[in-house]
Amino acid sequence: MSHIPRKRFGQNFLQDRQIIARIIDAIRPAPSDKMVEIGPGLGALTLPLLDILGHLDVIEIDRDLIERLARDEKLTIHQADALKFDFSSLGKNLRVAGNLPYNISTPLLFHLSEFAGSIRDMHFMLQKEVVDRMTAAPSTHDYGRLSVMLQYRFDMEKCFEVQPECFYPAPKVHSAIVRMIPLESLGAQDHGRFSNIVLVAFSQRRKTLRNTLKTFLTTEDFEALEIDPQARAENLSVSDFVRISNYHLPHKM
């Protein structure tokens, strides 16, 4: 491998053929699918996808890697930062996949959430710890702001785990494949308010909701919502946060 992985781009290249085959099997691409790959790297997923798809869009920031990608009439290369890329420009019903740079995975997931209406599904390689947080249930250690904000937008499933030795260079963490399917709206009338309440509630995890949400809810409000003010943010479901967000919305700030 002549390309030297760049730390600033969070480059760890998947090289295990069995894992690559399992990922392709999890995605189940069809020739007519409108597929987008984020961070194709050295083409571990790109080439097997091109064997199946009628067309593939890839988003890559590293110019050296772009030069190494196969020149294929079915391949469109977008030299861009995925954190700033307008995914809606590629149309609707997108299937998105990739081995995401672990150093920007959380902001990238939030960015992709903004385009949920244009996306059919997503399959990503991520740090196992992040996938565990994404898919965590309420009242568990891993459940937090990331869990709530992504579970509001997506149905998510941890598909399987991947060992560090499957990459070059081997990362210091274990990885996992996650499947994300956009949901119909769960009903937050003001997404900005919903997002702010979740942020504030988890800003001090060990404090009770009476303390963290005192700007939003009075004792009477907690009673009306039938939410225990002595509970903590980690004890609330996504639908609980939606109910709080929508409660007397015209009068609450």
Q: What pLDDT sits at residue 8?
A: 44
State how far the Cα of 124 lies from the Cα of 102, in Å rounded to an integer.
11
Task: Note whether 56 and 45 are within 8 A (CB).
Answer: no
| Residues 216 and 174 occupy one common structural domain | no
Domain-located, residue 77: yes
Same domain, 94 and 160: yes
203 and 92 within one domain: no
Give the global pTM: 0.89
Residues 144 and 222 in one domain: no
Q: Is 204 helix (H, G, I), strand (E, B) or coil?
A: coil
The answer as to whether 35 is a domain residue is yes
Give the residue numbers spanning the domain of 198. 191-251
Within-domain flag for 2:
no
Q: Is 224 left (phi over 0), alpha (psi -120 to 50) or beta?
A: alpha
What are 150's two structure tokens? 């992504």
Q: Does residue 159 form part of some domain? A: yes
Domain-ending residue, one of 155, 182, 209: 182
The answer on 247 and 124 residing in a single domain is: no
| CATH code assigned at 230 | 1.10.8.100
Domain count, the chain: 2
List % helix, strand, coil for the chain (3-state, nearest 5): 40, 20, 40
4-36 pLDDT tens trace = 444 444 457 788 999 999 999 999 999 999 999
pLDDT per residue as tens digits for the range 153-185:
999 999 999 999 998 777 788 999 999 999 987
Q: With 70 as the cut, is the pLDDT of residue 253 above it?
A: no
